[in-house]
Amino acid sequence: MKQFFRIAINTVMICSMAWSLVTAQTSKTHPKRATLLKTINQNFKDAGKQYKVLMSNLPQDKFPKTYFPKTGKYEFSGSGWWCSGFYPGSLLYIYQQTKDAELLKENNRILGVLEKEKFNTTTHDLGFMMYCSFGNAKDIAPKPEYKDILIQSAKSLATRFNPTVGCIKSWDSKKGDFLVIIDNMMNLELLFWATKVTGDSTYYKIAVTHANTTMKNHFRPDYSSYHVINYNSETGGVQQKKTAQGYADESAWARGQGWGLYGYTVMYRETKNPIYLEQAKNIAKFILTHPNMPADKVPYWDFNAPNIPTALRDASAASVMASALLELSGYVDKNLKKDYIKNAEAMIYSLSNTPYKATIGTNGGFLIEHCVGHIPQNTEVDVPLTYADYYFLEAMKRYKELK
């Protein structure tokens, strides 16, 4: 495994050096709000053009995963893949800003393919899959049936909760193991919504219990997080702490830090419990003051990657962080608000320019380039990813809505 990892790292170093030199040329400043808003409006228009390219290449019952610029080939998935909700969610965000009916029509079509996943009890990712899609649809282009679809999705997600462990299981594994990943914080929003519309507090209690257990066991003293905690399914005890998609068990995998920041921001929004606000603020401090955070605010794929400064950047992590920071800025004092917005602006500005924003007609129709999925397994390395587009669009939407 170590030998494989060294090979993967060497491969990454070679493919990253060329464009990292370009990144170094990126402006270290960002424009005033009026100028950035103009850029954002153009980004939404460009996103509409890009997603029509993506639509034209998408098989009837498939969802986009990624695209490989060097070969010109796509990778698609079925509706059960954890990223299936991001494509319709992105279509909805673009439609909301551009009112392009063609995008809404495509969203309605693909939601019909996705709907059956409301009964899926084999995944913890129903928040990503169903709330980023049907959850957005109920607000942007509502239909009466969306409520029942989302309630059933919450019921399915709740089946994976183990009260002894105090968490929702992420990955199925061998008997006795109970694997929970930091990403799972992103699926709790669906449960909070379910309690609001049904009056059943079970969903709320599951979300809070999961967040509390995660806060206790996933985070280090500096508020960086592990990726995976392996609990004993019978006793609830911690058996192992590791980082599967990052550089090493004790490293800070960048997107994982973003998931935690976003997740605890949502926890504060939904509960108003100050412990979650403090957690989110501490995670933000770790991210924004880390000595390895680049000047353009697009993080390396892992804050402890061994080949910094030539290590690959992860634009998807920046997208998640920017969106989370903009929401978090609404819950803090004036100084922190200013700091969070300033950093989010820098992230949005960087993602709006070379080398991260794709030229129209390229990148397979995806909007954002240079994302990192899973370097240790050498999959989805330095490619576009659906969730990078989704959270970038969300971040821009949130920035436009700032008072």
**252-403 placed in CATH 3.30.930.10:** no
Q: Is 183 a catalytic residue?
A: yes
Q: Is 243 annotated as a binding residue?
A: yes
pLDDT one-digit tens code per residue, 25-70: 344 556 799 999 999 999 999 999 999 999 999 999 999 999 999 9
From CA 288, how far away is CA 290, in angstroms rounded? 6
Cross-strand bridge partners of residue 75:
66
From CA 244, how far away is CA 86, in angstroms rounded? 23
At residue 1, the pLDDT reads 42
Of 100, 177, 183, 382, the active-site residue reads 183
227 touches 246 (CB < 8 A): yes
pLDDT in tens, the chain (403 residues): 434 444 444 444 444 443 443 444 344 556 799 999 999 999 999 999 999 999 999 999 999 999 999 999 999 999 999 999 999 999 999 999 999 999 999 999 999 999 999 999 999 999 999 999 999 999 999 999 999 999 999 999 999 999 999 999 999 999 999 999 999 999 999 999 999 999 999 999 999 999 999 999 999 999 999 999 999 999 999 999 999 999 999 999 999 999 999 999 999 999 999 999 999 999 999 999 999 999 999 999 999 999 999 999 999 999 999 999 999 999 999 999 999 999 999 999 999 999 999 999 999 999 999 999 999 999 999 999 999 999 999 999 999 999 8
At residue 31, the pLDDT reads 79
From CA 317, how far away is CA 253, in angstroms rounded? 9
Sign of CA pseudo-dihedral 196, 199, 202, 208: positive
Q: Is 177 annotated as a binding residue?
A: no
At residue 11, the pLDDT reads 45
At residue 15, the pLDDT reads 45
The phi-psi region of residue 179 (left if phi > 0; otherwise alpha if psi is between -120 and 50; otherwise beta) is beta
Q: Is 193 annotated as a binding residue?
A: no
In the chain, list all ranges with CATH 1.50.10.10. 252-403
Identity of the residue numbered 332: V
From CA 298, how far away is CA 246, in angstroms rounded? 16
Of 125, 296, 302, 382, the active-site residue reads 125
Q: Is 255 annotated as a binding residue?
A: yes
End-to-end Cα, the chain, rounded Å: 50
Burial of 161 (0-12, 13-18, 19+ CB in 10 A): buried
At residue 403, the pLDDT reads 83
Q: Is 259 annotated as a binding residue?
A: yes
Q: Is 296 a catalytic residue?
A: no
